[in-house]
Amino acid sequence: MGDLHVICHEIPKLELHAHLNGSLTETCLKKLKCLDSSIKGYQRMTEVLNKSQRSLSECFEVFKIAHNATNNVEAVFAATQSVISDFHMDHVVYLELRTTPRAGQDMSKEDYIAAVVTAILANPLEIIVKLILSIDRRNSIEQSLDSLNVILKMKLKYPDVIVGIDFSGNPAEGEFNEDLFKKAREGGLKTSIHCGEIRNDEEIEKILKFGPDRLGHATFLHPEYEGNPNNWKLYLEKKIPVECCLTSNVICGTTKSYPEHHIREWIRNSLPHCICTDDKGVFGTSLTKEYTLVAEHHGLKPKDLWQTTCNSVDYIFASDDIKTRLKVKLMNWYNKHERQLCRF
């Protein structure tokens, strides 16, 4: 376990599914200024998370605490810098951070996005960071269209940083609107859509037919996981990369255990996937931990994990030049550590 964790930490990693406000650590929350109420709320959050298992609704309640702590431009900037630093310390070399634009204390949606982008552009660390902006599925179509228009406006302002759009939030609320995401795609945004976090065969079919660039979770897609066989057949035709978040799914109760996680079907069938944290602060995890869990429960050796990372480069929302640079970095690392990898 110890040696495995060490090598999983050392592997240069890519994080493609990380929510900003779910990735804040306790240390980060304490550094933010609106802290008397936030620390008290954070302690309540810890009590919720210390239970053996939570419901999906409980997990979404937790995010309100982080939102309260990042309700102004300065806090959003500081939180973004902190999260980037955390991932860098975990040997993540490429990060796609995602967040839902929202207004706050003397802060518009545009201000919120600009604060995140400014923190990304000010990043001095050796980690490439891009931004995915989210549409909250609880919103009305009018609210969602307003958010999309803001996102497209900011995409024009920061084309090298804002690379994609997401559809996220409590999967028990709202529904997928294809026209909205067609407009986003026409505006030059890549699409990563939360899909199948709960069983919803009709919505899963809609999303698969739309054909996003990546899928988030896809928990209830495979027939052995209560998925619809026709949807699975459609997925096999499209083979959309899936962002797999083991600890998130186990803690939220949508997956029974790590060994039973649906990533095993993607591994078994050599289907495109990547390993992600989702909300490392909320779920007390790291990308190193997620790599280690996949190795321990699904039989992957460190060399396989390295290969998974290499494969993930093809799924990122970045230029061919960045993809080439990342592949060179990964190959150089492999050449230096091949003997160490072969010990496992």
Q: Where are the alpha helices (H) located in the chain, listed in sequence order?
A: 2-10, 26-31, 35-49, 56-69, 73-89, 109-121, 141-157, 178-186, 201-210, 229-238, 246-252, 263-268, 280-283, 287-298, 302-312, 320-342
Q: Is 283 exposed, middle or buried, given 0-12, 13-18 or 19+ CB atoms closer than 10 A?
A: buried
Q: How far is CA 157 from the centre of its chain?
A: 24
197 annotated active-site = yes
Give the angle subtended at the CA of 317 by the CAs of 290 and 209, to the nearest 5°: 90
Answer whether 195's CB lies under 8 Å from 217's CB. Answer: yes
From the list 96, 175, 186, 197, the catalytic residue is 197
Answer whether 15's CB lies under 8 Å from 277's CB. Answer: yes
Q: Give the residue numbers annotated as catalytic, written as ranges.
A: 197
